[in-house]
Structure 1
Amino acid sequence: MSQGWVDIHCHLVPGIDDGAKDQNDTLAMARLAVAEGTETVICTPHQLGAFRHNRGDQIRRRVQAVQELLNAHRIPLVVMPGADVRIEDDMPQLLASGEVLTLGDLRRHVLLELPHELYMPLEPVLDALRAQHLVGILSHPERNRGIMRTPEIIEPLVEAGCLMQVTCGSLAGSFGPQCQQIAERFVSRGLVHFLATDGHGPKSRRPLFGQAVQRSTELVGEAATMKMCRDNPCLVAEGRDVAAGPIAVAAPRRGWRFWKRAS
């Protein structure tokens, strides 16, 4: 198993979506990630929604080109193909055909993106994925406006087997106090299976774990933090099962000032 971070959500591929603009951005982002201890990145360009033009084989070729670029510059980072998939009606069929990518292209986990403005019931989506022996990972629920209004809807989803990925920047406060509060609440209750950077560039929304790791460790201890940043992401990168349901978390440090707000 990896000893460093495994980032399952990062927009590292240049010129394909709203992430890295060019190879220079990709190289700068990769160097930042490696300097922090990241060993593996699953590249997740947007698919469907406004990025329906991003095709599966195109993403596979571009991720291979990124790996060759990193190797040429002696940057010790492994990259794998994947996608940040907007939930649409034909998503199950496109997953079945391979046109829409699973994480690592391993036919096990799908990174699901809701429309940012609203929440839609995920149970039918999860059932459709289950029929293909796929598992859904909901990306950044703490940043969805519908969930921000009713965060209590997350716990039943986790109990039903949906996995959750919170953005490192949310936990560090980069998206504002409300996102941070909800991220802290989810982490504190063991409802988060992955922390990932959702990195988009070398200057803004950088692919960094550090502050989130510190905050998570304050909230729930080192073991749970390692599970979210390393162990569970590594299982995804290997195409192996991640335990469903809430994860075990430690009590917060005595006197930690954000605990009451997050509980």
Structure 2
Amino acid sequence: MVDIHSHILPMVDDGARSWEVAIEMVKIAERDGTTHMVATPHANYEYKYDRESHTKLLAELQGKVGDGIKLILGCDFHFSFDNIEDAVAHPTRYAIGDTRYMLIELSDFSIAPQMPNMIYSLTSKGLVPILTHPERNPILQNKPEKVREWAEMGVLVQVTASAFVGKWGRGVQKLAHWYAEQGLLHVIASDAHSLNHRNPVLSEARKIIAKTYGEDLARAVSETNPMAIVTNQHLPEM
């Protein structure tokens, strides 16, 4: 499996609080069957994103955990006007590894009416936005159909794996399934922040998706699609 969203870099944001926690998070993912893991430190008003220093830190983490799992740098990119302006000026700064794919995280408090224009500003630069955890966004919980409009513009959808397991409550779990049922689920990811509640486990959700919707979808959202993302390939038709 491939996990494109995790906060495993130690002491850079609200994820791993120490080297010990960071190393154990990676080891948990590896034992769970994850072969590639993207570290996605936040870029928002609270946490500064420094691609150069994060790259060095990730290399150090890779050295500490060994070669059993491949670590790649990405970003949990807050979808603000200032961030978008910088991403347009530097299209590779926030992307996953050397790819054209990048995660985007929307505010819990407002979604700009200019959202289509904001999406276009990225796609016109060749970037492919991946919307993170819409099932957990308070605004989109009431307007999930908005996501369909953006998907038609080329935005991919990432749902939190643990949402399918019910760790965020029944409402969020129901929405996770809604995205799968509507054909709007492209990839699952852990969004791991810790060793416990928000841990880097994908296999439980994969089993639920396989049982509910079939092995083809389970494989696509946990293996084929995220692998295409980290290797900068087009996603196969689902």
Q: Where does 1:77-156 land on structure 2 (aligned, <5 Å)?
A: 77-95=69-87, 96-97=89-90, 100-104=93-97, 106-121=98-113, 122-156=115-149
Q: What is the CA deviation profile of residues 4-24 of structure 1, one whole-angstrom value per residue up to 9, with x for unaligned ones? A: x11000111110011111111
Counterpart residue number, 2:60: 65
What amino acid sits opposite 1:19 in the alignment? G
Compared CA separation, residues 119 and 90, structure 1 to 2 (3 A) = closer
What stretches of structure 1 of length at least 5 have no aligned partner?
Answer: 249-263
* TM-superposed deviation, 1:107: 4.1
| Aligned AA (1:68) | G
Q: How high is the sequence identity, in percent, across the aligned residues?
A: 27
Q: Secondary structure at the match of 1:136?
A: strand
Q: Match for residue 227 of structure 2? A: 234
Q: How far 1:85 moved relative to its partner?
A: 0.3
C-alpha displacement of 1:163: 0.3
Q: For structure 2, list consecutive stretches of 5 or more residues without a partner in the other structure.
A: none
1:41 corresponds to which of 13, 16, 37: 37
Letter in 2 for 1:21: R
Equivalent in the alignment of 2:192? 199
Give the residue type in structure 2 aligned to 1:34.
E
Aligned to 1:211: 204
Question: Contact 2:99–2:231 at 8 Å: present in 1 too?
Answer: no
**2:57 aligned partner, one-letter code:** R
AA partner of residue 111 (structure 2): Y
- 1:231 and 1:31 map into 2 onto residues whose CA distance is 22
CA–CA distance in structure 1, aligned partners of residues 25 and 62 of structure 2 = 13
RMSD: 1.6
Quote the Cα distance in structure 2 between the aligned partners of 1:223 and 1:199: 25
Distance in 2 (alpha carbons) for counterparts of 1:219 and 1:119: 32
Matched residues, number: 236
TM-score (norm 2): 0.93
Contact preservation (8 Å) 2:122, 2:129 = yes
Q: Which moved more, 1:118-127 or 1:206-215?
A: 118-127
User: Contact 1:42 / 1:82 at 8 angstroms: preserved in 2?
Assistant: yes
* Cα 1:226–1:155 shift into 2, 3 Å: same
C-alpha separation between the residues in 2 aligned to 1:239 and 1:94? Answer: 22
Task: Specify the structure having the higher radius of gyration (Cα).
Answer: 1
Partner of 1:261: none
Distance of 1:24 and 1:133 partners within structure 2: 38
